[in-house]
Structure 1
Amino acid sequence: MGYPQNQKVFRIGVDVGGTNTDCVVLHPGESDKPNRGIRGTFKTPTTANVTEGISKAIAGAIAQSRISHDSVSAVMIGTTHFINAVVQADDHNLRKVAVLRLCGPYAQENPAFTDFPPILERIMNGHVASLDGGLEFDTREIMALNEQQVRDECTAIREKGLNDIAVVGVFSPLDIEGKQEERVREIVLEEIPDADVVLSHEIGQIGFLERENATILNTSILKFARNTIRGFKAAIRLLGLKCPLYLTQNDGTIIDANAAEKCPIKTFSSGPTNSMSGAAYLAGLDTSSGRVSDKQVIVADIGGTTTDVCALLPSGFPRQAGTWVEIGGVRSAFPMPEVLSVALGGGTKVEEHNGNVTVGPESVGHRLLTEGLVFGGKTLTTTDIVVACGHATEIGDPSRVKHVPTEILTKAKAQMKKLLEYSIDAMKLSADDALVVLVGGGSIVHMGDKLTGVSQIIRPPFHDCANAVGAAIAKVAGQIDIVKVTEGLDEDQVVQSVCDDAKQLAIDAGANPDSVRIVSIENLPLQYVTMKAIRLVVRAAGVLGQDALLKEDPTATSEMDESHQETAPEFKKGSNVEKDPKDFLVSPSAAIDIALYRPEVDSDGTWWVSEVDCEFLATGCSILACGGGGPGYICYMAARAALKEGKRLPVVDIDTLKDDEHILGSVSYGAPTVTLERIFSGTEAIDATDAVLSCFPQIEMAAQIAIEIGGMNGIRPMVTGTHYNVPTVDGDYMGRAYPRLYLWTPFLFGKEPTPCTQADGQGNVVTVHKSASVRKSEKIQRKAGQELGLFSQLVFPPLSVKEVKAFGTLGTTSLAWYIGRAVYQAKQQKTDIMQAIVEANPSGRILYTGKIVNVKRHISDAGYTEGSVTIAPISSDEQEYGSATTLETREMVLPFQNEYLYAELVADKDNPAKILCTVPDLISLVGSDGYALGTQDLRYGVRVSVVAFVAHPHWYTPEGVKLGGPAEFGYEDLDFVPLGNPYYEPKRVTKEFRSKN
């Protein structure tokens, strides 16, 4: 029978994968029918020129569904084409970019392109300029825009022959009036009329470096993406379709083709999201009868090589990854789903050696049809196991696998089941059974067995084209990421206003106003703010409205730029880019054998810190931060930038200094949200140090030291020391991170933290010469810090070397290095990361391994982030890098006040609650990658281990327990519960690796 020919009702969804291009024709008004409105499907190999494959797939699906071209209301395409150009460093289609930073004095320590792989930096770095501009967290201008500066830079850019320009302003997502980035675009286009100008606030959210990186990538790929998308439009016209074209975005929504031409990075990795949302639709989970709001829903997309697993939220959207993702080795910020990939697919190899059967990780991938046994090949794969077990016997020739021994079939089947169980359980938020939807051509690897932890398994019809279905049903979204000062306001009304704005953005993008709903709200209070302020990330979504579908011939467009025709990403002959594999590496340690690495320590005992050492230190400092210390990545990259400029970062043991010499140190002071955006100028610590030294004219500084070893502060003195040409002492004044100024070990010996000075990057310096009490000093500095923009460097008074020997916690720089080295060596050698950490610090113990299931946060009257994180247990075979010392069935709760305060096992019917340790002992929450989570990083579902270390003996004195123990944080009735391990003096890098020459 025929179908309606005169109404624009059908949607065409296309997903361009690495192997195949899938297409479906879908009638959204028939979602209540058994086929869920799917009228036709078509699969074809992905072609080098993806437009050809898309045309063939669409034509095939239309022919199969027997609909008229005039009845197609929209085409939605998901493609990895653009990201491939970045991942493969395709210098034919990537262009050099001019970067204009509106940052005033800030971000000077972290130049643009610092954390790019060398090959991408060479391809993309065309010009970088730092200009007046930028905003504070409360939208005050850091500096007013200097229009003449912008015009002068345009002259330089024009002389270099560049016209791809990225504009990045500090806190630009808050610039709703368009005072800075928007105005710069106007000026640039006046000076360079043919320029492509990309504004960072249109690309990413809060996080300056990550948003800048994403903006650079988007700008570099812009012309290639524009030509590709125009090729898509031309293909649709040639097929006789007159309907809107949309591209699917990374977050599971769609963007119209014209907008996608400006922001192609938002479509970089939409394939997994399409698959997840398409799976939920095919399984009927969006219907009233299929809705399972009381159950966890996990989608597993099994292809030829991997199984991609994601958790679905009640909104129907996949759970989102953290605040940043890596694209081609570049750390970037934009919404993407959290997807776990494991090496299990239809083409996964199965091997037998001496009776041991292994499944993966190698795969024949798209060569399955020629290499698999059932297809006449010589390689045993999981597909062969399935067919040999009597399942999917319509695939290939079952007679070709009759010889496979039963023992191999049994063992392989058990391993395939275990891999699938592991991948599903790893994405669950609790131990409760989950509903699982299996999709993808490789989903036959599940042979009907019941899976542990799974209540129901659904393999819906059309499961092998779920990705294209997800594209066809994708919604339109609007998102806002903004900081709001709520002092004196009704916070609920503030949140509602932002929600209304997000909904309007979705409507403006084409969503039906009646269908728009808020799908996620993140309300994150800012730390250390005496007035109330919150960061709100709100997303709204709705179905595509009829008005958007009735656009008049929206595929009409200008001709493509002939100099950048669409080509398959590849290295061209004669390319100026050398293909050294090391050029693709961002991690310095990835290029070396860590077990053989020796840091440079000269015969005088001076340790000359390298980029590899900085990487180890950043990771070790994150673990010793106990949840605080601020995001260490910024200081880590500042140190690497200093080394690339030819500066040296010396570290010495305190014994190399004279007792009457003096040492100063600084600490980062402010809110992590601001730290991520208003990055160091490099003058903060210098101005504050100079101010403190002016109070002691008789003293000359001989060395720097970290006030706290945790987070960014462990590396900070090395960067500051380059200005004064002084070394950094191996040690600090806490042995960890603490949230108050006076929680430093010298105070235990009567040393007041005054005079104490903080400075911002604009030459503003505030000194508290004397105060009635240390707590009053803290309040004064907090008030001043707010006026300075909630991020400064604070310097304590100098101490003599003799005093530091008595009062300090020495050797902690080395300790951080040893812990960091242990993490990276364990990852390189694929051994137990958590065990490596506690072996690097023998006073440590693994208390718990689990995943975060609940996070509570609020801001105290003093401006500290308070709350708790709850961790649920996982089984031993679920752990990626080994098991904890003991496996618990109970949950664990960690209360925190910027840092974690104690670790408590929750009571159950068989056991009372039990506190395992408290401050001042160190409690750290370490992710499965070995990097610790700050309290600002906590989120649902993250797999973690709780690792604790014994504090320095200074904290074990009665004075130390009183100052740094539970009572200081409001737990007056809670006694100090020590970890119970002995304390070990840290080994010194300067002694173990000292040159004998």
Structure 2
Amino acid sequence: MAIQRVYRIGVDVGGTNTDCVILHPGEADQPDRGIRTAFKTPTTPNVTEGIAKAVQGAISQCGISLAAVSAVMIGTTHFINAVVQADDRNLRKVAVFRVCGPYTQENPAFMDFPPILARIMNGHVAYLDGGLEFDTREIMPLDEAQIRRECQAVKAKGITDVAVVGVFSPLDLAGKQEARVKQIILEEIPGADVVLSREIGQLGYLERENATILNTSILKFARKTIRGFKRAMRSLGLSCPLYLTQNDGTIIDADSAEKCPIKTFSSGPTNSMSGAAYLAGLDTAKGRIPNAQVIVADVGGTTTDVCALLPSGFPRQAGTWVEIGGVRSAFPMPEVLSIALGGGTKVEERDGKVAVGPESVGHRLITEALVFGGNTLTTTDVVVASGHADIGDVSKVKDVPKELITKARYQMKRLLENAVDAMKLSADDAVLILVGGGSIVHMDDLEGVGQIIRPPFHDCANAVGAAIAKISGQVDVVKVLEGLDEDKVVEEVCAEAKKIAIDAGADPESIKIVTIENMPLQYVQMRATRLIIRAAGVLSQQALLHHTPSESTEELDESSETPDVVSKTLNSEKDPRDFLVSPSASVDIRDYKPEVDKNGTWWVSEIDCEFLATGCSILACGGGGPGYMCYMAARAAIKAGHRLPIVDIETLPEDGYVLGSISYGAPTVTLERIPSGTESVDATDALLSCHPGVKMAAQIAIEIGGMNGIRPLLVGKDYNVPTIDGDYMGRAYPRLYIMTPYLFGIALTPCTQADGNGNVVTVHKAADFRKLEKIHRKAGHELGLFSQMVIPPMTIKDVKRVGTLGTTSLAWYIGRAVYLARQEKTDIMKAIVTNPSGRVLYTGKIVSVHRYISAAGYTEGTVRLKPISSEEQEYGDAATTMTETRDMILPFQNEYLYAELVAPDAEKGSRGEILCTVPDLISLVGTDGYALGTQDLRYGVRVSVVAFVAHPHWYTPQGITTGGPKEFGYDGLDFIPLGSPYYEPKRVTEEFRPR
């Protein structure tokens, strides 16, 4: 009788130990959940040897037949180490083929890489005809002759690793454009490794490109390592399939992992979370906890990783991007909060106060902790002294003062409570699952936690998570819903996701939809939405039975393989500045001075761009669009040798003319179809053709908030004109006509927008400003939902009269204040409002967010904050933490509209105390000094509400009517000013001008 292949082996390679479990999926209903054995061994420098030792130990301990093993699943952070350590022995040069048509050139590839990684990886960049619009129309058809020419250039450089990145390629389900480019590359460069971005990441062009580059650079190293894993299995006598666990909690077969190693970069935390859910029985009818938030805390020796579980049992995913080795990238990753609390965390008494962490003895716990004969008081000693564990020699802690133990125990409790609360999505009690060898640090009930579970085998949950991982399929697509049934569209996309999972090896009967994200596009007159849908199911037994070893496994030339070892001392040999991405990180900000010449011209540097981007994000008041691209484009222009001047308007002749442009469209498109840099030029030239004889003397920002605060610098370089220190809003507003020229009766027509692909639309005349907005929104759809818009030229004399001047300097000073406070570790919020026009209104944490897309295409909703309690205060909070006990509510329509204090138990709809309304500026700023856009709001985030007095133009009757509460539908609410005086911003051009 043939032996049935039923057992699965799960392996997780950690920094200290390599864990291995053997599991019988058919016995999941048993108390031990089918786990036959668990084995732990120290992680070895050669990862493959450690894996082999762990598997061999588990098999020997369990005594099962090798023929009964159906699959081996391995989770490892091995590949990410090569990137983090900039290991040039295992990273290779990459040629990047951008399938983009005229777009993306404003943001060159490798621009936001740490210098050392850019030097190692940047081999060649080509801009090719092609790319897609958001609705999958072609931007341009492919030019095959052009592709072949670029291939020859790459071949001449000796590069054989190519990343292909098409605009909106994740929406091209058939993969026609990127796939055809790959086919041509392989014809021209036989044997090349070609990676397609649509197989790596989701929407977000720069982040997906970066992830694709990292994946391509590490491909050959990953292939060697994974083939080493295969050899290890073969040497043990195992002939079953090998899988690697992915960042999103699912598995990928070894052959596919050789092509997409980046998908396995951070699978360790995910394995722990998935394993915890399985060990707690959340996948069973008996263990399922309906309508409850489930949080997992994986406590190690040094840190605790905390993650929220979705009802599907998968970890909640992080936002649109993550950072890998300093590189901003986009691919599915769990949202994990790490805190400095583990079994080896040091406990110290400082100035009469007991501090827990952040320092830890780590893996030296068994020699340095008191109970093991050492001299360091650790959390493990606190647990033993409290009588909650029998570890080591209890007599070693009998003389530790009881008061110290009590205080330390309380601090440990608060650390866990705050971490759990930060991951919750509502104030309701959560269920907490504790896993990891250090989970003994939990001793007391936790506020905000209704149930605590520490399941059996909790110290090897990571390996269990690998063994039970599922197969998934995901679709990320933008759908135009005009004339369609939205439910039917969602159903069709769900079917596509299920098919992808089944094709990858999932059992069709077990497939379930685990996440549906339905995100309507903003600023769009027609109905359109972005759908991200993921399906998952258990590994099909049929897929396992029909497994045959891959040819690459059988044909390995072991003599050609190098040891899969990454040195842990590589970085000590390199200049730390080579790993920095932030320009200001390498200078003492106190001593930094912007370059202003004797004529009063401010020549913007990369550091200035960083300050401006941060300041503009705060002045955006929750809107303004994503500013990262404009910030990086300005840095790229400076690196390319362009000079970006800013001047005070008083230095210009009054009869000169000023123009400005603004990004116009849907943020989703903005993130993908990155500007070519010609959009504003096309629109400006077209508009100037309506004004014969007008010659531009300067550029100005139409709105200082968000991405548009930096845009005029980029346009000005193309016309060799400076940018005026100022704008037409003093903030960000969601509608075209809410700007100061309108307050003075200055016409906004003719008004032009251009898409950078030869298409320009000019509205010469409109019945009113609202009609003008509607016409341009409709035209914007045909232009791909992203363009640059230019309003009519104005004389310097008029701009002096109608502009909000000095706001560029204001943004710079705010940004500088943030970075200086971070560098000196002083109060960031206090630094932001050094300008007397500003105030910190509130410090609290977000406890609820409600949002929706209005019929006009704006993001509307409310966010509610609760005050930070004294127990939640952090070091340095004393200056800004309020004694306020009321909650704060902030309604928004893309931007925040007013700040209202309400009693926690106030009846719904009752009015509280309104501190200020638009047109005064209201911004939510995180603890790191970065402002939160309305799209970034989520439960548990700690924020401060910062407000600034609006420019006097907005305090006129016309200004209050145009930009006040009634414009946004609050007919019963009058303008309530902040109550501080308005102060003219200091001018960088004056402050730093040589005397």
Deviations 1:46-100 (A, max 9, x none): 1111111001111111122221111111111110000000000010000100000
Shift of 1:527: 1.9
Shift of 1:295: 2.2
Partner of residue 609, structure 2: 614
Distance 2:935 2:905 in 1: 33
Partner of residue 875, structure 1: 869
Mapping for residues 343-492 of structure 1, pairs under 5 Å: 343-394=340-391, 396-446=392-442, 448-492=443-487
CA spacing shift, 1:188–1:812, aligned 2, 3 Å: same
1:863 aligns with 2:857: yes
Mean alpha-carbon deviation: is it higher for 848-857 or for 817-826? 848-857
Mean alpha-carbon deviation: is it higher for 436-445 or for 199-208? 436-445
Partner of residue 206, structure 1: 203
Distance 1:519 1:874 in 2: 34
Partner of residue 961, structure 1: 960
Partner of residue 254, structure 2: 257
Shift of 1:265: 0.5
CA spacing shift, 1:977–1:293, aligned 2, 3 Å: farther
Distance 1:904 1:519 in 2: 37
Shift of 1:888: 5.9
Partner of residue 989, structure 1: 988
SS in structure 2 at match of 1:298: strand
CA spacing shift, 1:127–1:432, aligned 2, 3 Å: same
Partner of residue 279, structure 2: 282
SS in structure 2 at match of 1:380: coil
SS in structure 2 at match of 1:341: strand
Q: Residue 65 of structure 1: which of 54, 62, 65 is its match?
A: 62
* Alpha carbons 2:96, 2:164 under 8 Å: kept: yes
Distance 1:312 1:736 in 2: 38
SS in structure 2 at match of 1:596: coil
Shift of 1:538: 0.6
Deviations 1:557-614 (A, max 9, x none): 13158655243223899x9x97110100111122222233222222322222111111
Partner of residue 973, structure 1: 972
Partner of residue 934, structure 2: 935
Deviations 1:445-496 (A, max 9, x none): 22x2222222222222111111111111111111110001111111111111
Shift of 1:688: 1.4
Distance 2:451 2:544 in 1: 37
Shift of 1:421: 1.9
Q: Residue 541 of structure 1: which of 536, 541, 560 is its match?
A: 536
Distance 1:264 1:258 in 2: 10
Shift of 1:645: 0.8
Deviations 1:96-129 (A, max 9, x none): 0000000111111100000000000000001111
Mean alpha-carbon deviation: is it higher for 797-806 or for 493-502? 797-806
Shift of 1:676: 0.5
* Alpha carbons 2:22, 2:35 under 8 Å: kept: yes
Shift of 1:967: 2.1
* Alpha carbons 1:5, 1:71 under 8 Å: kept: no
Distance 1:298 1:565 in 2: 41
| One-letter code aligned to 1:400 | K
Distance 1:420 1:900 in 2: 32
Mapping for residues 622-633 of structure 1, pairs under 5 Å: 622-633=617-628
Distance 2:408 2:884 in 1: 30
Shift of 1:806: 1.4
Mean alpha-carbon deviation: is it higher for 291-300 or for 463-472? 291-300
1:271 aligns with 2:268: yes
* Alpha carbons 1:741, 1:753 under 8 Å: kept: no
Partner of residue 49, structure 1: 46
Distance 2:589 2:860 in 1: 38
Shift of 1:870: 4.5
CA spacing shift, 1:415–1:708, aligned 2, 3 Å: same
Partner of residue 222, structure 1: 219
Deviations 1:104-159 (A, max 9, x none): 11111100000000000000001111010101111111110000111111111111
SS in structure 2 at match of 1:483: strand
* Alpha carbons 2:838, 2:946 under 8 Å: kept: no
**Unmatched 5+ stretches in structure 2:** none
Distance 1:612 1:5 in 2: 69
SS in structure 2 at match of 1:836: helix
Shift of 1:719: 1.3
1:532 aligns with 2:527: yes
Deviations 1:947-993 (A, max 9, x none): 33221111111101111112222333332233333322222222222
Partner of residue 913, structure 1: 911
Distance 2:541 2:400 in 1: 57
CA spacing shift, 1:246–1:38, aligned 2, 3 Å: same
Q: Residue 818 of structure 1: which of 795, 813, 821 is its match?
A: 813
Distance 1:972 1:913 in 2: 14
* Alpha carbons 1:93, 1:564 under 8 Å: kept: no
| One-letter code aligned to 2:26 | G
**Unmatched 5+ stretches in structure 1:** none
Q: Residue 798 of structure 2: which of 785, 800, 803 is its match?
A: 803
Q: Residue 168 of structure 1: which of 162, 165, 168 is its match?
A: 165
CA spacing shift, 1:62–1:841, aligned 2, 3 Å: farther
* Alpha carbons 2:846, 2:863 under 8 Å: kept: no
| One-letter code aligned to 2:417 | E
| One-letter code aligned to 1:411 | K
Partner of residue 735, structure 1: 730
Mean alpha-carbon deviation: is it higher for 507-516 or for 564-573? 564-573
SS in structure 2 at match of 1:180: helix
Q: Residue 314 of structure 2: which of 317, 334, 346 is its match?
A: 317
Mapping for residues 621-700 of structure 1, pairs under 5 Å: 621-700=616-695
* Alpha carbons 2:427, 2:847 under 8 Å: kept: no
SS in structure 1 at match of 2:922: strand
CA spacing shift, 1:906–1:10, aligned 2, 3 Å: farther
Partner of residue 9, structure 1: 6
CA spacing shift, 1:390–1:5, aligned 2, 3 Å: farther
| One-letter code aligned to 1:846 | L
Mean alpha-carbon deviation: is it higher for 235-244 or for 287-296? 287-296
| One-letter code aligned to 2:402 | T
| TM value normalised by structure 2 | 0.96
| TM value normalised by structure 1 | 0.96
Distance 2:210 2:109 in 1: 8
Deviations 1:604-658 (A, max 9, x none): 2222211111111111111111222111000000000011111111111212222
CA spacing shift, 1:908–1:348, aligned 2, 3 Å: closer
Q: How many residues were matched structurally? A: 988
* Alpha carbons 1:242, 1:555 under 8 Å: kept: no
Q: Residue 786 of structure 1: which of 781, 790, 805 is its match?
A: 781
| One-letter code aligned to 2:743 | L
Distance 2:274 2:877 in 1: 33
| One-letter code aligned to 1:772 | A
SS in structure 2 at match of 1:438: strand
CA spacing shift, 1:75–1:873, aligned 2, 3 Å: farther
Identity among equivalent pairs (%): 74
Shift of 1:279: 1.2
Mean alpha-carbon deviation: is it higher for 933-942 or for 36-45? 933-942
Q: Residue 231 of structure 1: which of 228, 231, 242 is its match?
A: 228
* Alpha carbons 2:421, 2:940 under 8 Å: kept: no
Q: Residue 494 of structure 2: which of 493, 499, 511 is its match?
A: 499
Distance 1:796 1:302 in 2: 57
1:188 aligns with 2:185: yes
Deviations 1:749-789 (A, max 9, x none): 11011121111111222222222222222222222211111
| One-letter code aligned to 1:964 | G
Deviations 1:265-298 (A, max 9, x none): 0110011111111112212222222222222221
Partner of residue 511, structure 1: 506
CA spacing shift, 1:164–1:384, aligned 2, 3 Å: same
* Alpha carbons 1:847, 1:948 under 8 Å: kept: no
Partner of residue 141, structure 2: 144
Distance 2:868 2:540 in 1: 44
Shift of 1:720: 1.2
